[in-house]
Amino acid sequence: MASAAEQLAANINMKAFSKATDLQKRIWFTIGVLIVYRLATYIPLPGINTAVMAEFAHSHGGGIFGMVDMFSGGALSRMSIMALNIMPYISASIIVQLMTAVAPQFEALKKEGESGRRKLNQYTRYLTVLIAVMQAYGAAVGLESMHGAAGSAVMDPGLFFRLTTIITIVGSTLFLMWLGEQITSRGIGNGISLIIFAGIVANLPSSIINALELGRTGALSYIFVLFILMFSVAMIAFIVFMERAQRRILVQYPKRQVGSKMFSGESSHLPIKLNSTGVIPPIFASSLLMLPVSLIELSGGQGPAWMQWIFGSLHKGGTVYICIYLFLIVFFAFFYTSIVFNPQETAENLKKNGGFIPGHRPGINTANYLDSVVTRLTVMGAAYLAFVCAVPEFFYAAYSLPFYLGGTTFLIAVSVPMDTVAQIHSHLLAHQYEGLLKKTRFSKSARNT
């Protein structure tokens, strides 16, 4: 069955795609939503002096501000209505998912199935509003204290500006959250991941041009710029290789008799990816680190002593920042793996279907074996994610790059298109199978007549 599916996937062509009208509608819908999102990132907040924001973005392009700006597709440097992007929703998702592991009430909702999932999604939306309000207020206060050569960043500071900023940013964040949900349900791919991917890809051309301009002006040597480009290509190839790596566990099915016919035993494979969590751990780790620090940086590091200590300790490329960043990546790799893969449930499903893993008895022994395999794979997957995210951080710390270079960017830029293409292939396979079934039914009816 697996080889037939692989062969069918290899034979996918434009002719099959042209007949899959439902898939075409999903793709065009996704592209249209992403265009709406990109246009919205160019709508500025009311009362903002864009010249001061451009000056601030130029001087802080390589730090935490540059990371947040990369994720928002340049919306933060332009201080548009999409300045917070989808990050409040991601932060709310982290908190709700952590609550499902520590709070019995949330754990019970998780086990209720579809109804429980809807309630958890509703709680996530409420928490998104709360987080967005707090961050929008912090951004408004920080903007009022920002000054540059062109004057103040806010033309008319005061209560009215803060109120309009909170309403505008929170409303835009909720609209963007809704767009992501629409892509997931009516489009193709994961809506939230595609929105982040669109922002990163939109900033890539300007980042490459800035790097080449730094080489032309002599700020960076041409050899170093060439090395960065070669490093980026090598990192992309490495990520593709690791994302496709998987452990295939042999599953045997005994002989069975159906009526008077005896069917011989079959064998298949249970594929477990090396990195079953995708880009979730780096995104979660980045969102927990960069938004609070970015708001402190937006206000110029002014405030109480504890805020200045955080601002000084968690600067991008610093030892404390890298250690906390890598710890969060490893933690979320193990945490999210426990959510997406349940060894006990998988072992029980194999037992119900009559399958077994050679050398391991069905039931608890199979569950323990699967748990040990997944744990070892997660150790390797977490190490891979930590390596990809740590190497660019060391580059930034060693050479003080004036532009943002991050491992999370590489992971999203590679993993999201791979997942989206896989979903497109799945839709095409389903469409081709439906076509084969229709032809079979038509031929049977023709023979009967």
Classify residue 256 by its DSSP letter. Answer: E
Q: What is the Cα Rg of the chain in Å?
A: 25
The values of phi and psi at residue 75, to 5°, are: -70, -30
Longest alpha-carbon distance in the chain: 89
> Among 291-305, 378-392, 429-443, which stretch is predicted with the lowest mean pLDDT?
291-305
Distances (CA, A) of 92 to 89, 128, 177, 284: 5, 5, 12, 10
Distance between CA atoms of 337 and 189, rounded to whole angstroms? 20
Q: Higher confidence at residue 64 or residue 342?
A: 342
Query: Looking at this protein, which amino acid is placed at residue 144?
Result: E
Distance between CA atoms of 399 and 32, rounded to whole angstroms? 40
Q: Are 235 and 229 in contact (CB under 8 A)?
A: no
H/E element, 431: helix 407-448
Select from 361, 404, 410 the least CA-distant residue to 385: 410
Q: How distant is the alpha carbon of residue 90 from its chain centre?
A: 9
Q: Are 41 and 82 in contact (CB under 8 A)?
A: yes
Cross-strand partners of 252: 267, 356
3-state secondary structure of 261: strand
* Buried/exposed code over 252-291 (b: 16+ C-beta within 10 A; e: otherwise): ebeeeeeeeeeeeeeeeebebbbbbbbbbbbbbbbbbbbb
Q: What is the pLDDT of residue 380?
A: 93
Distance between CA atoms of 287 and 328, rounded to whole angstroms? 11
Q: Is the pLDDT of residue 163 over 90?
A: yes
Q: Are 50 and 142 in contact (CB under 8 A)?
A: no
Q: Is the pLDDT of residue 27 over 60?
A: yes
Residues 320-377: tens digit of each pLDDT: 778 888 899 999 999 888 888 888 888 888 888 778 888 888 888 888 998 999 999 9
3-state secondary structure of 12: coil
Distance between CA atoms of 92 and 132, rounded to whole angstroms? 10
Query: Looking at this protein, which amino acid is placed at residue 227?
Result: F
- Average pLDDT over the chain reads 79
Residue with tokens 């969060």: 328
CA angle 332, 334, 336 (to 5 degrees): 60
Give the tokens for residue 312. 């000084």
Q: What is the pLDDT of residue 4?
A: 42
Query: Mean pLDDT across the stretch 192-201?
Result: 87
Cross-strand partners of 52: none
Q: What is the pLDDT of residue 76?
A: 80
Give the tokens for residue 201. 């890809």
DSSP string, 134-202: HHHHHHHHHHHT-EETTEESBSS-SHHHHHHHHHHHHHHHHHHHHHHHHHHHHSSS-HHHHHHHHHHHH
Residue with tokens 């109804």: 115
Q: What is the pLDDT of residue 74?
A: 78
Q: Is the pLDDT of residue 290 over 90?
A: no
Show Cβ contacts of residue 200 under 8 Å, excluding neighbours closer than 6 positions. Answer: 70, 71, 73, 409, 412, 413
CA angle 207, 75, 177 (to 5 degrees): 120
> Among 104-113, 175-184, 208-217, 257-266, which stretch is predicted with the lowest mean pLDDT?
257-266
Q: Is the pLDDT of residue 303 over 60?
A: no
Distance between CA atoms of 65 and 298, rounded to whole angstroms? 8
Q: What is the pLDDT of residue 8?
A: 42
Q: Are 403 and 232 in contact (CB under 8 A)?
A: no
H/E element, 211: helix 191-217
